[in-house]
Amino acid sequence: MMKRKREEKNECMDIVWQTPANPPLPQDYIFRNGIRLVRPYYFEFIAHVKNRWAGKTIVDLFAEEFKGRPYEYYVSAVKCGRIQVDGEMVPVSYVVKSSQKISHFLHRHEPPVMACEVSILQKESDVLTVCKPASVPVHPCGQYRKNTVVGILQAEHGLGPLFPIHRLDRLVSGLLIIARNATKADSFRQEIEAGLVKKQYIAKVVGEFPADELIVDANIDYNAREGRSTAEVRDSAKGKVSSTKFTRISSNGTHSIVLCEPVTGRTHQVGKLLVDFD
């Protein structure tokens, strides 16, 4: 019991508060052996009390509505201040009221990414064109917040707010166009939806790719939990319909350079089809 109290006291002292308003900073990153790491931090997740939550104690609310953690965790989190109401620490017996802001500070250990620079190729008043390195996601998602293209550009170049108008998968490198205001982002999205903007990928594959142009129709079934996709036959009940055009640019018999033009935009579409073809 005494050991647990000491641990809770130390944990309270070590908390580094981070809210959605805090932009990533250069000192948040550690570079080691070609890897970009993020210093661990506590991040504020915000919710507002719904009418059906009102009248419950803060601990009972979390235990009943967020069952992924044990009751004892929420008791400790309230006592330590990792769970707050309207920005204030409250006792475990506190009864919440409708529309109050509840903050839950969770300890974050972001996965590492490659320590490649996010190169700025062109910088205009309302548009930014960068070279996205492989392994780095475009924007905050899942376990990533600071180890993202948007986060790195904010930390290292002071650029923000940023509005990505298209996305490249985390493992893919390539050109990324980012709007610097909401108006420009909407303009780009309208052009994309109208088919006026298209994506092209260049891939290096093992083997001699067929010389004739190939159009591959398949369903791409993306498993968000595992972060993996499978290619299914076109009439399968699984996945979403996809269509991709492949054109061989060159080949030396051992490797081939292939132009990949997705007609649809599905997660892992190009990479998964190329791997299955190989």
Fold equal for 2-108 and 201-277: no
* Residue 104: other Cβ atoms inside 10 A: 18
d(CA 278, CA 207): 8
Q: Where are the alpha helices (DSSP H) in 123-194?
A: 149-157, 182-193
Identify the pLDDT of residue 243: 81
d(CA 266, CA 231): 11
pLDDT in tens, 163-182: 999 888 898 888 999 999 99
71-80 helix and 2-14 helix, angle to the nearest 10 degrees = 50
Domain boundaries, the chain: 2-108, 116-193, 201-277
pLDDT in tens, 82-113: 999 999 999 999 999 999 999 999 989 999 99
* Lowest-confidence segment of 64-73, 132-141, 180-189, 267-276 by average pLDDT: 267-276
**DSSP code of residue 153:** H
d(CA 245, CA 270): 9
Identify the pLDDT of residue 21: 80
Q: What is the mean pLDDT of residues 115-142?
A: 95
Identify the pLDDT of residue 226: 60
* Lowest-confidence segment of 2-6, 148-152, 175-179, 216-220 by average pLDDT: 2-6
Identify the pLDDT of residue 167: 86
Q: Is 246 helix (H, G, I), strand (E, B) or coil?
A: strand
169 is known as an active-site residue: yes
* Dihedral class, residue 268 (left if φ above 0, else alpha if ψ from -120 to 50, else beta): left
Identify the pLDDT of residue 11: 43
* Residue 33: other Cβ atoms inside 10 A: 7
Beta strands at 41-48 and 101-108: parallel, antiparallel or unpaired: antiparallel
Give 196's pLDDT tier (boundaries 50, 70, 90): confident
Q: What is the mean pLDDT of residues 127-148?
A: 94
% pLDDT > 90, the chain: 59
d(CA 196, CA 15): 48
* Lowest-confidence segment of 146-155, 176-185, 216-225 by average pLDDT: 216-225
- Catalytic residue from among 14, 86, 169, 278: 169
Question: What are the Cα distances from residue 119, in Å, to 128, 146, 199, 247?
Answer: 11, 17, 20, 28
pLDDT score of 6 more than 50: no
CATH 3.10.290.10 fits 2-108, yes or no: yes
Q: What is the mean pLDDT of residues 237-242?
A: 71
Architecture of domain 116-193: 2-Layer Sandwich (3.30)
- Which residue, 159, 109, 69, is CA-closest to 150? 159
171: CB partners within 8 A, 6+ apart? 134, 135, 271
Query: With contact defined as beta carbons under 8 Å apart, do 115 and 34 qualify?
Result: yes
> What dotted CATH number matches 201-277?
3.30.2350.10
Question: What are the Cα distances from residue 63, in Å, to 16, 58, 101, 130, 246?
Answer: 25, 9, 17, 44, 52
